[in-house]
Amino acid sequence: MTPVPFPTRRIGVLISGRGSNLQSMIDAVAERRLHATIAVVISNRADAAGLTRARAAGIDAFCLGPRGHADRDAYDAALVDQLRARRVELVCLAGFMRLVGPRLLEAFPNRILNIHPSLLPAFPGLDAQRQALEHGVRISGATVHLVTAELDNGPIVVQAAVPVHDDDTVDTLAARILIEEHRIYPEAIRDVLAGDWSLHGRRFVRAPLPL
């Protein structure tokens, strides 16, 4: 008898560059810490190293550049088509350097995650590690959150803190935060896919564990 494959949840990952967070997802799936299938990886840049990582893992991966699309809405519509064609349930932004417009948000309501290298709501936007260092905070970290129309402002799913040392540079702080990013992004995906959560205002609340 042919074994029936156990159905897993299908995620799509959007990247623009290095893809180390993508790699953390690939590893978590391979090590069965995350019961999901990475159905597709899409980059808005052809030279994204993450595309090579995805292909090395046998994942369908390609560049969908903004050129040739009239505006953000048309580009987002093309992304939605690609994601839907692969029956993606959850979209994970992993270093995707584009704002997400209403077309994508409406296609995946509360089903888009992002990772940001600070303890939001501190230091949204670009260069979060530099912002934290220059502000002089003693603790920074990483945040995985649901994506909403406002940049880096959606409900928080998981956070992790790291200390900021006196001799830190942007690079050493970013490296310390990145270790936590790689740990918490697969955890957050697992939590969201588990489905036993709800939003209370801005709060992402997990259902209590059964006794």
Q: Is residue 18 part of the contact set for ligand GRF (CB under 6 A)? A: yes
Instruction: Judge whether 182 counts as a catalytic residue.
Output: no
Contact 39, 10 (CB under 8 A): yes
Count of H-run helices and E-run strands, the chain: 6, 9
Distance CA 137, CA 161 (A): 12
20 binds ligand GRF (CB under 6 A): yes
Please state, in angstroms and rounded to a whole number, the distance separating the CA atoms of residues 55 and 152.
29
Looking at 11-19, 65-73, 150-158, 159-167, which segment touches ligand GRF (CB under 6 A)? 11-19
* Site string (137-156) toward ligand GRF, x via CB under 6 A: --------------------
On whether the CB atoms of residues 15 and 95 are closer than 8 A, the answer is yes
Q: By CB under 6 A, how many residues form the interface with ligand GRF?
A: 14
Q: Do the beta carbons of residue 164 and residue 133 sit within 8 Å? A: yes
Q: Does 181 bind ligand GRF (CB under 6 A)?
A: yes
Residue from 41, 61, 115, 157 touching ligand GRF (CB under 6 A): that is: 115
Instruction: Give min distance, CB of 21 to ligand GRF, in A.
Output: 3
Which backbone phi and psi does 87 adopt, to 5 degrees?
A: 55, 40
CB of 196 to ligand GRF, least distance (A): 26
41 bridge partner residues: 13, 61
Per CB under 6 A, which region of 19-27, 67-75, 79-87, 159-167 contacts ligand GRF? 19-27
In terms of Cα–Cα distance, which of 156, 150, 76 is closest to 119?
156
Catalytic residue among 35, 69, 116, 165: 116
Q: Which residues are catalytic?
A: 116
Q: Which residues bind ligand GRF (CB under 6 A)?
A: 15, 17-21, 50, 94-95, 115-117, 178, 181
